[in-house]
Structure formats: C-alpha cells, structure tokens
Amino acid sequence: MHTEMGEPGEVCFGGVLAKGYHKLPELTEAKFVSTEHGRLYVTGDLGRWKDGVLEVIGRIDRQVKVNGVRVEPEEVEAVLRDFHVATEANNCNVAPKPSNSLLLQDHLGGDLDNVAVLDRAVNRAAVVTTSEPAQLVAFIEPREGCEVNLEDVQAHCRANLAPAYVPKYILLQPALPALPNGKVDYAALRAMADEHALQTTETVLDSLGQMRSMSKWAVLENAVIHRCYAFWMLGVLLDHYALCAMTLDPNDPTKTNSQPFCTALAGASIAPWSEVLLRSIGNDQDLFGFIMLGAYQDSRPAAPNQPKKKLRLNWMDLYILFIYFFIALPLPQLCSFVTGGWAFPDRTWQSSIGTETSGWDVNYIKGADVTSGHRWYLLMVLQAKLYVVLCDAIRIPPWVQVVFAIWCSYSGPVFWGNTCGDSVSPSLTFGLTWLLDGCWVWIRWVEWYAAFYVFCLHYLRPIVQWMSKVVPHGPVWAASATASSMLMGMAMAMYHYPNEMLETGGDGKLAALELVVTALQPGLFALGTTYWPLDASWWGNTTLGCYVIHFVFRDRMTELFQVLSRFLAWDSSGLLLPASILACCLGFTSTVGPLGHYVLILPQLVFGYLRRRHWTGKHTLYKK
C-alpha cells in the first residue's frame, strides 16, 4: 500500500535480494513478500519521503498507543536530541560547529561580542511507556558539562511536538542503561518509568472532602475501589428497596406470607429468575466487599512493597461517629420536614413496627432501623479500629488479634445486654439505643463483620501481593473472575438466601460456606474490575452519602418497583423488570445519593476551604 508524500509508512525495498533466512521459513515468509512491484523485503523500519529524501523515523515494533493515539517514540527522541542550550552560559564540553549551531545576535546593541552560541545539550534520548494506563516517559542523557533545565525541555517538546507526543514525564540520567552491544536497554527504562510513575503524586479529593496527595499506584488502587463501591452500592439498594419477597411476617403462624407492604418482588406474576438476578447483586457480599476494601485502604503503606502503616484514630473517625448519630436522629426528621413527609418510610414503619411515634420519642428510636437500618456498619468499623489500636498499643501480634476476634464472634452469645427492658428508664433507653443502634450491647452477627475487618486490615494486602505473582493477569482472566463472582451470587440467591449466621448470628450448618463464599465473591469481583475501562469516581466517592440517605426513600422506591412490576407484567422473559429496577437504583446513586453525600460532608468541605485559605494567607504574609 502506497502512502502519500510526507506520510509515514513501512520501508520496503526490492532488487537483488537474498533467497531468505537460513532454515527460518516462517520469518522468510513474513519478511520477503510478493507485490505488484515484484519481490520486496520488509525492513520493519518506519519512514517517509521528505524533500525527495527517504527519512527513517523509527521502528514499527516500537510504535505505542497512548490515550488512543499511535505514537512513534523515535520522533519524540529526535526532538529531544535537538534540544539546545546557550553554551556561553553553560559548560557544555562541545565545540560549536556551524553545521549544528545557531548564532543569535544581541539586537539591543548589535555588539557581535555578545553573540550567544546555542548547541545541542542532549547526548542520547530514549522514550518508553509506562504500564497501563500507558504514558510517555522520556529519559535524556545530557552532554558532559551541560546543565539541562527540565522545564525548558518540556517547553521545547510542546513547541515541536503534537500534544499526544509530549512526554508525561522527562527524567535526567547521567547515562542511559545499555545492553552488552551498546544499544539502549529499553526493558530497564520501562521498569524505571513504572517505578517513577508509581511514586508520582496527585492531589485528589477523597470521599470525606479532604484534599489528599496520592501516589499514582494509590490512585490506581482507588480507581478499582471506586468501581467496586459503585456496584456494591447498587446491591445494597436492591436488598433494601426490594426486601420483603423473602422477609417473613413475624405474626403469621404459617411463616409463608411476606409482610403486607414492601412486596415489589413477591407477586405471583414475577418470574423467579428476576428475583435471582437482583439477589445475586445484593446479599451480604456487598458489605463484606465494603469492609474488605475499606480495610485495604486503611492498611495502605507509604510506597509499594513497604510495611503497612500503623492504624491510628483521628478526628475524621470522630466525624464518622457524628454521622452515625445523625443518621438516626435528626436526618430522617429533617428529610420528612423538608419534603412534607414524602421522604420518610411511613408505610414500612406501619407494616414492620406498627407503634405510634412522634419521630422523636423512645418508640421511634427503638424502631429506628426502619429509617437508618445500616448505621450499625459505621459503629462496627469504629469498634474494630479501636480494637486494633488498643491491641497495637500493648503490642499484641496481629495473628492473636485476628484469632481472638474470631473466637469472640464464634463463642459469644447471639444477643447480650438488653437496654430496652422494663428495668431501664425511658430516657436511658433512648440514649443507649441511639448509641448502640438497637437494644443490644452485643450482637453476634455484627461481630463477625468486625472480625473480618481485623483480618483484612492485617493480612489482605500481603495476600494480594502474593496472589499478584501467581494468579494469571489479563482482561480474559479478569472477565472470568467477574463472571465467577456473579455465578456464585446467583447460586447463593437460589439455594441459600438469606445467610443465616451473617444475618441472625445463628449456628447454621452452612456457616463455613457463608463465610467463604461471602468473602470470595467480592474478592473475585474486585479482581475483575482491575481491567474495567470505567471511571467510577463519581459513584465511588459518594457512597457514604448514598448509604446514609437511601433509607428515607424506601417507601417511594418500593412503590416505583411495584409500578414497574405491574407495567412490565407482559414481559415473559422476566428480564426487563430487573433491568428497570437496576436502572432506577443507578439513577438514585447518580443523583439523589451524591446530593445527600455532599450535604453530609459540607462542614468538612467548608472547614477544608477555610484551612487552606488561612494557610495560604499566612504563607504569603511570611514571604513578604
């Protein structure tokens, strides 16, 4: 195929050619090809015609793709080698030559004695890409005695290269690594580029409104975490908004009827596989996933392959404790007041609790699970963190911490410490129930989640590091991991839903199965999302607010699901209903949830802004 004048293409030549490569028929067939112009040899070089001269600009096998654009590293290297500095103000150990020097006359006076001599300052240059996501990294070896300013090099590249060709990073090296034959060792440079990229920091806004400086490897970790959080939040919404198809009425002696309200998936016209598909996304694996990756973040070291950082409590944990109280009181009351009662689960309250309440009394706080059912999760994480901090303070080994936490979860009572008894005054009951998220001081199934956090905090990162060396990599394996995770969820939804031990604390015969599958399913899913081409930071960063506020919309979302189930009753495939419900939940996590999140962290955003402004003012005053 011919190329236009000036367009790059692969260089081929004909004429008197060799018969081929000795005893290498496949290579001969690939390199010696028959065309309309006769037999040609394919060189593998990239070239173009320029002013009647064939200009070789690089090798085909070095061509890379960066942000969807094909880049020839040799073109970038040629521009880098053409970087000049003023030798008058530099100590470049190179004699100026008219052929490659530029004389600039001082126009201020026309004095030829003040002519500045510019000469090339770069001896050798090499350009490679980092691992995914691919970014250009340039290494330059200055000439002896030359002082090279990297900002000037970057400006030189921007002036002479297309934007896609400008290196992301430019690094100085006294000497480029070389192979025994003297050629540049590109493999060593790629390893150096990856190491540098991982250490480079970016300033990002975290989920609690704090500006953090994160290295690239931490940002990449967060990208995976955001994808997982976004998906698992959908599972939480599905479980709570379509809850009662498998929730039994405690007043029904036959134990066969669902509760009178919240029956979005309980109708006889709903295909059973519709429910299975939705349950496979929900269930306890979502919370195990949140705990697993939350602990993974808390154990993140300062740099890769370094020991995990020591867990410490800070004022942000105190802020989370404030949110924990705020979820139960007065957030639901405020939402009800602002929306005229629309954003309040009154129908669910009547069907599951039934007692009259003003929304501020002890009857309300006893049944606050209806409006803030999952705030126990925040208290559990704070409890687990406090446990680890205290154990570390008295130097209890990590494995002892894990074993003791598991032993307490396994051997402890199902419930202990009832604060709602007749012997406890109503005011004390109110305060303790608001503090404990219920009437019990100890709940066994909650402690299983705390034990899992302690285990993940100490051992998940080493397990991931070990598995990264032995588990196959690549998009195909990632897709297999995602599919395996979903199939496990569907199997549990069909044959063992809901979990017994993780939901009630009971000593079920399948307790081991529940623990293994509920931990393995989110682990496989997280492995699969490493290759997802999706930026889910909007959803992942706002999970906390979505998690906090979604309970007050239970009735309205359930009513919407009921309307959808009737509207789509004609669909014999049973697939449109779960797809529509999933789309509704995605809409919630994209709009209402983030709005609630930023309202929730507004005090932190304001405080952070004032602190940065105050620091900047002090810094400027000091400089003056």
pLDDT of 353 reads 77
Q: Does residue 117 surpass a pLDDT of 60?
A: no
- Which tokens sit at 545? 């607010």
Highest mean pLDDT: which range of 95-99, 137-141, 219-223, 509-513: 137-141
State mean pLDDT over 531-553: 90
pLDDT at 149: 85
Residues 154-179 have a mean pLDDT of: 88
* pLDDT value, residue 316: 85
Whether the CB-CB separation of 270 and 580 falls below 8 Å is answered with no
* More confident call, 231 vs 9: 231
Model confidence, pTM: 0.72
Query: Quick one: pLDDT at residue 59?
Result: 72
Q: Which of 214, 216, 220, 57 minimizes the C-alpha distance to 137?
A: 216
Task: Report whether pLDDT(186) > 80.
Answer: yes
- Whether omega before 498 lies within 30 degrees of 0, making that bond cis, reads yes
pLDDT for position 497: 76
pLDDT value of residue 262: 46
Q: What is the pLDDT of residues 66-90, one digit of tens each?
A: 877 878 888 888 888 888 876 555 5
Say what the pLDDT of residue 108 is: 37
Q: What is the mean pLDDT of the chain?
A: 81
Q: By the 8 A CB rule, do 149 and 95 touch?
A: no
For residues 558 and 197, the model is more confident at 558
- Look at 241-255, 344-358, 573-587 and tell me which has the smallest mean pLDDT: 241-255
Q: What is the mean pLDDT of residues 576-598?
A: 93
> Cis (ω within 30 of 0) for the bond into 472?
no
Average pLDDT over residues 181-207: 75
Measured between alpha carbons, how far is 241 from 275 in angstroms, rounded to an integer? 12
Residue whose C-alpha is closest to residue 507's, from 441, 448, 437, 453: 448
Helix (H) or strand (E) holding 247: none
261: confidence class by pLDDT, cuts 50, 70, 90: very low
pLDDT, residue 622, reads 31
Strand order in the sheet with 136-142: 122-129, 136-142, 169-172
Among the residue ranges 200-204, 421-425, 456-460, the one predicted with the least confidence is 200-204
- CB of 503 within 8 A of CB of 188? no
Comparing 138 with 606, the larger pLDDT belongs to: 138
* Nearest C-alpha neighbor of 524 from the set 465, 578, 464, 445: 464
Give 32 or 351, the one with higher predicted confidence: 32
Higher pLDDT among residues 218 and 397, named by residue: 397
For residue 525, which of 196, 263, 293 has the smallest C-alpha distance? Answer: 293
Report which of residues 78 and 46 the model is more confident about: 78
pLDDT for position 401:
96
In order of their start, the domains of the chain are 1-61 (2.30.38.10), 63-199 (3.30.300.30), 203-611 (no CATH)
Residue written as token pair 């692969």? 10
The per-residue pLDDT for 260 is 45
Q: What is the pLDDT of residue 354?
A: 74
- Residue 418: strand pairing partners: 440
Instruction: Report the share of the chain in percent with pLDDT over 90.
Output: 27
**Tokens 């209402």 identify what position?**
592
Tell me the CA distances in angstroms from 293 to 184, 221, 334, 401, one per residue in order. Answer: 41, 10, 32, 19
Q: Indicate the pLDDT class of residue 243, thresholds 50, 70 and 90.
A: low
Higher pLDDT, 105 or 494: 494
CA angle 464, 465, 469 (to 5 degrees): 105
User: Of all residues in the chain, what percent are helix, strand and coil, respectively (each to 5)?
Assistant: 55, 15, 35
Token pair 């409890």 in the structure block, residue: 383
**What would the mean pLDDT of 35-51 be, rounded to a whole number?**
84
pLDDT of 114 reads: 43
Q: How many CA atoms lie within 13 A of 343 on its CB side?
A: 16
478 CA to centre of own chain: 15
Buried b (16+ CB within 10 A) or exposed e, 113-126: eeeebbbbbbebbb
Report helix, strand or coil for 150: helix
Higher pLDDT, 462 or 47: 462
Strands (E), 6-160: 9-13, 32-35, 38-50, 53-59, 64-66, 69-71, 84-86, 102-104, 116-120, 122-129, 136-142
| Residues 183-187, mean pLDDT to the nearest whole number | 85
Of 490, 393, 408, 491, whose CA–CA distance to 449 is shortest?
408
- Which whole number is the average pLDDT over 239-243? 79
What is the spatial distance between Cα 559 and Cα 565, in angstroms, rounded to a whole number?
A: 10
User: Looking at residue 164, what is its pLDDT?
Assistant: 85
Residue of higher predicted confidence among 3 and 151: 151
pLDDT of residue 338: 92
Question: pLDDT, tens digit, for every residue of 318-353?
Answer: 888 999 999 999 999 999 999 998 999 888 787 777
Q: How far is CA 209 from the centre of its chain?
A: 16
Question: What is the pLDDT, as a whole number, of residue 209?
Answer: 54
Inter-CA distances, 111 with 101, 119, 372, Å: 19, 20, 82
Say if residue 305's pLDDT is above 70.
Answer: no
Average pLDDT over residues 97-107: 38
pLDDT for 390 beyond 80: yes
Residue among 83, 31, 21 at smallest CA distance from 60:
31
Give the chain's end-to-end CA distance (angstroms, integer): 66
pLDDT exceeds cutoff 80 at 118: no
Query: Does the structure show a pLDDT above 70 at 440?
Result: yes
Is residue 595 pLDDT above 90, yes or no? yes
Residue (of 376, 380, 377) closest to 433 by Cα position? 376
Share of the chain above pLDDT 70, in %: 84
Q: How confident is the model at residue 202 (pLDDT cuts 50, 70, 90)?
A: low
